[in-house]
Amino acid sequence: MEDEEGSVMVQEKNTEDRSSRPLKVTFKDPAKHWTEALPIGNGRLGAMVWGGVSSEIIQLNEDTLWTGTPGNYTNPNARESLEEVRKLVVHGDYAAATEAAAKLTGNPAEVYQLLGDINLEFGDSHLAYSEETYHRELDLNNATVRVQYTVDDVEFTREHFASYPHQAFVTKIYGSKSGSLSFTVSMSSKLEYDSYIHGKNQIIIEGSCPGKRIPPEGSSNENPNGIKFSGALDLQISRTRGRIIVLDDKKLKVEGSDWAVLLLVAASSFDGPFTDPSDSKRDPTSECLSSLDRIRKLSYSDLYEHHLEDYQNLFHRVLLQLSRSSKSVSKSWFLEAKNFIPSLADSYYEGGEDDSVSTAERVKSFQINEDPALVELLFQYGRYLLISSSRPGTQVANLQGIWNKDIQPAWEYAHVLCLSVFSFAVHISFRNLCLGAPHLNINLEMNYWPALPCNLSECQEPLFDFISSLSINGSKTAEASYFSFAVLPSPFVSQVNYEASGWVVHHKSDIWAKSSADQGDVVWALWPMGGAWLCMHLWEHYNYTMDKDFLKNKAYPLLEGCVRFLLDWLVEGPEGYLETNPSTSPEHNFITPDGRLACVSNSSTMDMAIIKEVFFAIVSAAEILSRNEDDLIKKVKSAQPRLRPTKIARDGSIMEWAEEFEDPEVHHRHLSHLFGLFPGHTITLEKTPDLCKAAEISLDNRGEEGPGWSTSWKIALWARLQNSEHAYGMIKHLIKLVDPEQGRDFTGGLYSNLFAAHPPFQIDANFGFVAAVAEMLVQSTATDVYILPALPFGKWANGYVEGLKARGGMTVNITWKEGDLQEVSIWSMDRSFVRTLHYRGTTATTTVSSGKVYTFNRDLKRIKTCSL
């Protein structure tokens, strides 16, 4: 490692940015809880920086470290059980069908693990640090964590970043006085591991994940071999001062240096979801040492410059600034906030520019001051997290992105709550929320909602790779576990036709591309619509990018397989509709007409909404690819008018099930029956105003309470209804500070480091929030673009957004002042098309030519055209 002698700070790359506001998550003390640590990542490697003074822990994750081995995702007994369940549903015995459906559940998904810790010990002298000098921050503009504090008259600084170009975690530590830096570094893990010194300045850690999720009783060596991992840490210090000492073949001690740079690389034996770890030819330690050899001769400045170039190319694509009205800003809120949080007294002003106000304090005061700049920060923080947890070549962002501190899941049990509702003994099952496992009934999809509208389409590539793997295992699940039969109106007789073709995935998966139903309560485990929902991301990727090669070679084959399964899965019901049977509305029970609790019936509204979207997608794709005469497309077109329509209940809301059952939990967290409104497109203000009104009543019925991801979904739903007041109300509901020691709950909120809370931490709400705010600013279809459709002008009277994407390969910039549009610019790099713009009842249709920027005023009159 070469570095510049005397250089104590690497200058940031200059970027053009209209906003002068810093985008920082800040603390005034070290983390005491995991949700106070600061996350960094390069998509594959993740780290949580606690910022301890005398003793520092940097917790590490590598995204391929999971328990288990490739599984068998077929159920030879499923066919017989499926027929039994379907007959019970046809006869209206929903409680018995729910009980029988337990036979269709399978084995549990595997569990995301951790890599280990970098342990830094600075000695007792650092215990006497000056607390008022302590500062810890995550700067979103450069994806860098910094920790600073003073001991006596020496200022110590640590800088941390995760490099995607060089696939390394990098730390630089330095003091303001020459020779002032001394510390000891070691590595450890909660998994089985060994560590040793390699050469004179490197630490190697080697270990393995459990080969089974739940180790068998007895000695640990009975557990089969799981994924092996290695980490290699390289330590370099200033050339002219200081030395490195090896301690006990485990630790490295730095004495009297000016600075030190640590490079951490990691690798595993994971070789894809279909290769058993015992058969893997990969050598993680050898890969780590080769990686270090490639980068250790680069200077810290070089590493940082490449990191900035890569990261800022993604992050700076979208700019957002929100401000109150300059005419009506009241200071009354400030007086209230001053009493609410005393530290705001002399330091707070809008935008959070003063580092003396921590982010936690800003979150806590939001209920009083409603600082628009905090919304900006949370929006950009979500984009930062997506860049940091999902990049080409990595695994999908899981339930916690890539950040995890546990080897035993926080939700790893089925909790049953009994309460009396309407004199019924109602059992509400909290889902067995396997730590890290991708959940396909909302959570994984929400992780990727912001990728397209917020100009991060590359970050979706791991999702598409994952869908491809799921389709391979899912085809075996479909063939071995399911078949279709027709249900005749009367008498109700079933007849087996054939085994299901195509591919299917249920509600929970893992790194091994698990496709079968999970173990646990039927109310969440039995849901074979996961693959179909994921396919909508394929179609939307084409809608936003207009990448015809992607549509032809990637999306269409996967859509085709999904549709084949759906056609086989649909059965003719007593009313002549094509139905799904069995069917659940994710994680939500109902009360049967005879007063019993059940979850299995036929044709839940969400099932039908997803199928309608997928059928529309493949018919549209076939038209583009000149395949509309294929037999499959003809079958889809024949089935489309026979799908059960969305219906309105007696109270005016959207019916969640085909039958109007009594709801034992009206404030349930899931909003599955509103899928057609968002993220779907079958419920729209223009084409289905009655259903939109019913959706509004449904949202009112659900209420505001719920976990973080539910809150983010509600923001997006209200935005799609163009109801800015309610959308903003849910934003305010989300931005409330959560106690890090609060147990499992369904109340939502944010932790001090802006991680979203279920509680516990789930990253989906962070991503869902970004997509929802984008939906408030721009909405689009294949023909129309809606400008500021749900912007709360009373709260964000002034502002601008640059770089948002609209369907059709279009980029949108918008500026507004004092509650009114000032101008909007649209362009496409490589396509020409016609679009209709909408703003507050005004419409304008324009032709957009590739390579030209078109600017319109508040009346949507074109005022300027220029070339890119």
SS3 for 134-189 is: EEEEEECCCCEEEEEEEECCEEEEEEEEEECCCCEEEEEEEECCCCCEEEEEEEEC
Taking only Cα atoms into account, the Rg of the chain, rounded to an integer number of angstroms, comes to 28
Q: What is the pLDDT of residues 139-166, one digit of tens each?
A: 999 999 999 999 999 999 999 999 999 9
CA atoms within 13 A on the CB side of 668: 20
Q: Omega into 740 within 30° of 0, i.e. cis?
A: no
Cβ neighbours for 510, distance < 8 A, ≥ 6 positions apart: 66, 68, 109, 110, 111, 112, 434, 437, 438
Which residues, listed in sequence order, are joined to residue 320 by a DSSP beta bridge? 801
User: What pLDDT does 353 receive?
Assistant: 54
User: What pLDDT does 75 receive?
Assistant: 86
Rounded to an integer, the average pLDDT of 761-774 is 97
User: What pLDDT does 222 receive?
Assistant: 65
Q: What is the pLDDT of residues 489-541, one digit of tens each?
A: 332 233 222 257 999 999 999 999 999 999 999 999 999 999 999 999 999 99
Cβ neighbours for 123, distance < 8 A, ≥ 6 positions apart: 54, 182, 183
CA distances from 18 to 74, 234, 290, 321, 549 (A): 55, 39, 42, 9, 36
| pLDDT greater than 70 at residue 331 | no
- Work out the percent of the chain whose per-residue pLDDT is above 90: 84
Rounded to an integer, the average pLDDT of 819-845 is 96
| pLDDT greater than 80 at residue 173 | yes
Q: How far apart are CA 805 and CA 676, in angstroms?
A: 21
User: What pLDDT does 465 receive?
Assistant: 98
**Residues 765, 708: contact at Cβ < 8 Å?**
yes
Domains and CATH numbers, the chain: 24-66+111-315 (2.70.98.50), 74-109+438-661 (1.50.10.10)
| pLDDT greater than 80 at residue 769 | yes
Q: How far apart are CA 737 and CA 363, in angstroms?
A: 6
| pLDDT greater than 50 at residue 3 | no
Residue labelled with tokens 């009373």? 794
Per-residue b or e along 439-451, where b marks 16 or more CB atoms closer than 10 Å to that residue's CB? bbbbbbbbbbbbb
| pLDDT greater than 60 at residue 428 | no
User: What pLDDT does 213 receive?
Assistant: 83
| pLDDT greater than 80 at residue 224 | no
**Residues 624, 550: contact at Cβ < 8 Å?**
no
Q: Residue 759: which pLDDT band, with cuts at 50, 70 and 90?
A: confident
Mark out the alpha helices in 721-763 (DSSP H runs).
724-734
User: What pLDDT does 500 receive?
Assistant: 79
Look over the chain and give the mean of its residue pLDDT values, rounded to a whole number.
90
| pLDDT greater than 80 at residue 323 | yes
User: What pLDDT does 434 receive?
Assistant: 53
**Residues 171, 187: contact at Cβ < 8 Å?**
no
**Residues 203, 252: contact at Cβ < 8 Å?**
yes
Rounded to an integer, the average pLDDT of 651-666 is 97
Which residues, listed in sequence order, are joined to residue 705 by a DSSP beta bridge? none
| pLDDT greater than 70 at residue 15 | no
Q: How far apart are CA 238 and CA 174, in angstroms?
A: 10
Q: How far apart are CA 512 and CA 73, in angstroms?
A: 10
Q: What is the pLDDT of residues 537-586, one digit of tens each?
A: 999 999 999 999 999 999 999 999 999 999 999 999 999 999 999 999 99
Rounded to an integer, the average pLDDT of 630-659 is 98
Which one is predicted more confidently, 328 or 590? 590
Which one is predicted more confidently, 251 or 498? 251
Lowest mean pLDDT among 115-124, 214-223, 857-866: 214-223
Rounded to an integer, the average pLDDT of 387-415 is 82
Chain Cα centroid distance, residue 55: 32
Q: What is the pLDDT of residues 463-488, one digit of tens each?
A: 999 999 999 999 999 987 765 443 33
Chain Cα centroid distance, residue 851: 33
